[in-house]
């Protein structure tokens, strides 16, 4: 028993919570024990500012091998020619790209937060919207699909320096080639932020952005099933149009500019224990079982989507190509906020989410977002999806009857006992 019983008993309780509930937050997953062991390792003790072979501290020879292993495995996973595994999170990865490609006040173009975009794509609440002039595109009201015409018109009118594609709550694949075409026309770079679907892209289940988009960022903890963190990669390096010169007077390549933007641009010492865990996770992705996992994720998401549709739930875009779906609850007379709260009581965890053209505030919302990466890792299959939808429907249609909610909670706990989580842990 560790000495700090106060803290470690909290961690025990969190383990029980994760084991007993149904985890439907689209951005969450369960890492392997090996990923957690690497994160909780001696690598946390080491300062290693700089990059492999070019550190500001001594004693980095083994850390260099760890970070190089993470980089080489990541390059292999995505067929990239260059990668940086130091960003502490997805948001940090995007910050580094902005720092490398833009000057303060430059125009950028991203998917509107209220249409499924991410805070770091220009939201006024975020540095990306405070330091740059942000313009947005959305989705079509009728179909819920990306409004590429609006993206193109806005790009031609505002001449952004950077066009950002990628989303946090969009259930369809992207036409990266089309975005690149308008970017070339207006002289913009394209950033694909694949934080959510990265694992599905890695195994070829979704379109590959790396040929069409100049720069790709991601988190490592969502469908990539690694530790909490971020990454940046390129398939084709190119001269950074900002044209910053290196000390020898050469124009810096984009890869060099990105390395400098991460460190010393905006981070200090890298989290080498997390980088070690990234190496473990990328190694797992290169193993046979991971492609099967991502195929099961999509099969589960589609089974769940059709179960919702058959119960008269309104899915934005009518379904899903990836690991998540966005549900408009307005025909069910319950808000996103209330749905999240009452499902939490039944130990079904998900998040309220604005739907496109929502008339409610972001604190209330008309919708919920549901993802299946975490329950797929636990081993749930298509038939389980139908059971989960039945339970969600039961709770949402009896939201004011605590005894119904309590009965579903019992059912959830019995169900999840069949899918052991971290049996190696006490």
Ligand X SMILES: *Cc1c(COP(=O)(O)O)cnc(C)c1O
Q: Please identify, using beta-carbon distances, which residue of 117 and 160 lies nearer to ligand X.
A: 117
* Catalytic residue (one of 73, 172, 222, 332): 222
Establish whether 352 is a catalytic residue: no
Residue facing ligand X at closest CB distance? 90
Q: Please identify, using beta-carbon distances, which residue of 113 and 256 lies nearer to ligand X.
A: 113
Q: How many CB atoms lie within 10 A of CB 290?
A: 19
Q: Please identify, using beta-carbon distances, which residue of 193 and 358 lies nearer to ligand X.
A: 193
* Catalytic residue (one of 193, 321, 358, 384): 193
Smallest separation, CB 324 to ligand X (Å)? 10
* Catalytic residue (one of 219, 223, 376, 377): 219
Residues at the contact surface with ligand X, assessed by CB under 6 A? 27, 89-91, 118, 120, 166-168, 193, 195-196, 219, 230
Smallest separation, CB 412 to ligand X (Å)? 26
Task: Answer for the pair 136, 108: CB distance below 8 angstroms, yes or no.
Answer: no
Establish whether 47 is a catalytic residue: yes
Smallest separation, CB 288 to ligand X (Å)? 27
Q: Please identify, using beta-carbon distances, which residue of 205 and 416 lies nearer to ligand X.
A: 205
Establish whether 219 is a catalytic residue: yes
Smallest separation, CB 119 to ligand X (Å)? 8
Q: Please identify, using beta-carbon distances, which residue of 90 and 107 lies nearer to ligand X.
A: 90
Smallest separation, CB 181 to ligand X (Å)? 22
* Catalytic residue (one of 19, 159, 178, 228): 228
Q: Please identify, using beta-carbon distances, which residue of 121 and 212 lies nearer to ligand X.
A: 121
Establish whether 193 is a catalytic residue: yes
SS3 readout for the chain: CCCCHHHHHHHHHHHHHHHHCEECCCCCCCCCHHHHHHHCCHHHHCCCCEECCEECCCCCHHHHHHHHHHHHHHHHHHCCCEEECCCCCHHHHHHHHHHHHCCCCCEEEEECHHHCCCHHHCCCCCHHHHCCEEEEECECCCCCCECHHHHHHHHHHHCCCEEEECCCCCCCCCCHHHHHHHHHHHCCEEEEECCCCHHHHHCCCCCCCCCCCCEEEEECCCCCCCCCCEEEEECCCCECCCCCECCCCCECEHHHHHHHHHHHHHCCCCCHHHHHHHHHHHHHHCCCHHHHHHHHHHHHHHHHHHHHHHCCCEEHHHCCCCCEEEEECHHHCCCHHHHHHHHHHCCEECEEECCCCCCCCCCCCCEEEEECHHHHHCCCCHHHHHHHHHHHHHHHHCCCCHHHHHHHHHHHHHHHHCCCCCCCCC
Smallest separation, CB 228 to ligand X (Å)? 7
Of the candidates 234, 216, 262, 260, the residue with the CA atom closest to the CA atom of residue 82: 234
Q: Is the dihedral of CA 117, 386, 425, 67 positive or negative?
A: negative
* Catalytic residue (one of 19, 20, 46, 47): 47
Q: Please identify, using beta-carbon distances, which residue of 303 and 354 lies nearer to ligand X.
A: 354
Q: How far apart are CA 191 and CA 216, in angstroms?
A: 6
Smallest separation, CB 111 to ligand X (Å)? 9
* Catalytic residue (one of 19, 20, 46, 49): 49
Report the catalytic residues: 47, 49, 193, 219, 222, 228
């Amino acid at each position: 028993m560790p000495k700090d019983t106060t803290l470690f008993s909290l961690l025990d309780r969190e383990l029980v919570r994760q084991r007993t509930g149904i985890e439907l937050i689209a951005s969450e997953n369960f890492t392997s024990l090996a990923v957690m062991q690497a994160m909780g390792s001696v690598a946390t003790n080491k300062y290693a500012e700089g990059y492999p072979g070019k550190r500001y501290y001594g004693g980095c020879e083994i850390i260099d091998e760890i970070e190089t292993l993470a980089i080489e495995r990541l390059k292999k996973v995505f067929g990239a020619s260059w990668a940086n595994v130091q960003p502490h999170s997805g948001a940090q990865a995007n910050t580094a790209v902005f720092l490398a490609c833009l000057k303060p006040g430059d125009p950028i173009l991203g998917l509107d937060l209220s249409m499924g975009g991410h805070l770091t794509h220009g939201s006024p609440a975020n540095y990306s919207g405070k330091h740059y002039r942000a313009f947005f595109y959305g989705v079509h009201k009728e179909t819920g699909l990306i409004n590429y015409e609006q993206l193109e018109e806005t790009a031609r009118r505002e001449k952004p320096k950077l066009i950002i594609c990628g989303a946090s709550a969009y259930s369809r694949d992207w036409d990266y080639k089309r975005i690149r075409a308008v970017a070339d026309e207006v002289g913009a770079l394209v950033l694909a932020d694949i934080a959510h679907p990265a694992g599905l892209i890695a195994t070829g289940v979704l379109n590959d952005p790396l040929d069409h988009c100049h720069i790709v960022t991601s988190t490592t903890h969502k469908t990539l099933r690694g530790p909490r963190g971020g990454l940046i990669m390129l398939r084709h390096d190119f001269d950074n149009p900002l044209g910053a010169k290196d000390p020898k007077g050469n124009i810096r390549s984009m890869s060099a500019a990105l390395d400098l933007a991460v460190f010393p641009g905006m981070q200090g010492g890298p989290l080498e224990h997390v980088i070690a865990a990234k190496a473990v996770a990328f190694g797992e992705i290169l193993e046979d079982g991971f492609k099967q996992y991502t195929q099961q994720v999509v099969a589960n998401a589609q089974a769940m989507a059709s179960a919702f549709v058959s119960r008269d739930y309104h899915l934005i875009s009518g379904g899903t190509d990836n690991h998540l779906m966005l549900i408009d609850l307005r025909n069910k007379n319950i808000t996103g906020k209330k749905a999240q709260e009452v499902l939490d009581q039944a130990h079904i965890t998900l998040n309220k989410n604005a739907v496109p053209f929502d008339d409610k505030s972001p604190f209330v919302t008309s919708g919920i977002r549901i993802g299946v990466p975490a329950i797929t890792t636990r081993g749930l299959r298509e038939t389980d999806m139908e059971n989960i939808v039945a339970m969600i429907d039961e709770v949402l249609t009896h939201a004011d009857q605590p005894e119904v909610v309590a009965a579903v909670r019992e059912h959830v706990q019995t169900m999840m006992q069949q899918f052991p989580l971290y049996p190696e842990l006490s």
